[in-house]
Structures are given as C-alpha cells and as structure tokens.
C-alpha cells in the first residue's frame, strides 16, 4: 500500500530513548510523511519543536504502560502534554478495574483524560492481550461514551500486541464514528495491510521505515 505512511504513528517509547534517538525518528517521520511521532511525555516539547511546520503530529502516551495510575495523575499528564505541544494523547485504561467489571471507574478515568486534553485527540489503549472479548467490547464502549477519538489495541509492553481478530472486533464495536489503532507487532507490510483491511485507521509501530521500504 503506497500511502501507508499516513497511517503510521512512528513510535519510540523505550526507557533508554535518548534525545538523539528521538530526533532521528522525527527526521524519519518528516521524510516519510508519517501521521505522528509517539513518545513519552518527557520528550513532548523536544518533539513538538522538531516537528513544527512539518504536518507531522506530536503524540504522547499517558499512564503508560500499566494504566495503574490515579485518574488525577493521568489527567495532569495529559494536560501537561497538550500544553507543551501534543495534539494527540494515547492513554492506558485502568485495566484492573476492567477485569473487576467496574466499568464506571474505567469510563470516568477515560473521561477525565479526554476533558484534560482539550482539543487533542485521545486514543484509548485497552491492552487487548489482558482482556476477554466481552471485556474488549465493553472497554471500547466506555471509550466511546467518554468521548475518545480512537480505541487502541496495545501498549506493546505487555504479553501481546495487535491481532487482526482484535482489530476487527474493535471496529465492529465502534463502527465508523471512532478510529481504531493497531499497535504492537506491526512489523511487515503484510502485517500493516492485514490490520488496515480489518479496520485499523492508525498503526502504532517502531518499524515505520521498514514498512515503507518493504
């Protein structure tokens, strides 16, 4: 797929990511016209300045990778990121609450981040590898009710990443009104094509250049 670059959130979320490494992925994102660069909040201002005028968005993760932070902490981090240049926020849900079936807590957690993010698009990471299909569906419904712009499969830091089946399930749940981001394990052009065919409207990957170059 020749236009695959527009789907890609070019991602660097490793603990040992240096400013030079972050600058390299920003250069790659500009060169290949990726949709965004996705980083931890410590890098938000640096990335925002490097991408200024490029058309590539600055995306930051919040409550990452566990989602087990206080709602107020997630909301504060989201607000900080937006204030310092992020136009997209990828947040991790309260997975423990989801496993307990406490969907009010899950939804309120998402809503707090959405509100703190202002006009920035919020993508809600549900960590599909830890949920049953029924839990995945309900997590997606919580994200929709809370006003999220996307639902996202995975952090890439847990026991598994995106699968075609999960992307299809999420797309069938949210319909056409909310985006679906496949993240974790999108390594080849064939992987990318399969995820897009299943309903993904965004791809989170650290392999963006390989996907373009084949």
Residues recognised as catalytic: 90, 152, 181
Please, are residues 184 and 202 in contact by the beta-carbon 8 Å criterion? no
* Phi, psi at 58, each rounded to 5°: -100, 125
Please, are residues 96 and 45 in contact by the beta-carbon 8 Å criterion? no
Q: How many CA atoms lie within 13 A of 94 on its CB side?
A: 24
Query: Which single residue is written with the structure tokens 């960590």?
Result: 127
Question: Which residues does residue 179 pair with via DSSP β-bridges, in sequence order?
Answer: 150
CA–CA dist 196, 164 (Å, integer): 9
Q: Residue count of the chain, please give it.
A: 214
CA–CA dist 77, 74 (Å, integer): 5
């Amino acid at each position: 797929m020749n236009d695959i670059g527009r789907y890609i959130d070019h991602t660097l979320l490793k603990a040992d990511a240096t400013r030079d490494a972050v600058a390299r992925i920003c250069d790659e994102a500009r060169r290949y016209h990726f949709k965004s660069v996705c980083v931890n909040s410590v890098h938000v201002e640096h990335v925002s300045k490097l991408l200024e005028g490029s058309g590539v968005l600055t995306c930051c993760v919040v409550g990452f990778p566990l989602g087990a932070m206080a709602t107020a902490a997630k909301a504060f981090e989201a607000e900080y990121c937006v204030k310092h240049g992020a136009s997209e926020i990828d947040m991790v849900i309260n997975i423990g609450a989801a496993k307990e079936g406490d969907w009010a807590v899950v939804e309120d957690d998402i809503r707090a981040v959405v509100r703190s993010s202002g006009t920035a698009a919020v993508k809600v990471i549900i960590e599909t590898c830890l949920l049953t299909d029924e839990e995945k569906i309900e997590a997606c419904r919580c994200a929709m009710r809370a006003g999220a712009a996307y639902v996202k499969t995975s952090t890439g830091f847990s026991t598994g990443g995106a699968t075609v089946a999960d992307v299809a399930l999420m797309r069938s749940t949210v319909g056409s009104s909310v985006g679906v981001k496949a993240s974790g394990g999108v390594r080849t052009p064939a992987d990318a094509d399969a995820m897009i065919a299943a309903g993904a409207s965004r791809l989170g990957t650290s392999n963006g250049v390989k996907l373009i170059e084949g």
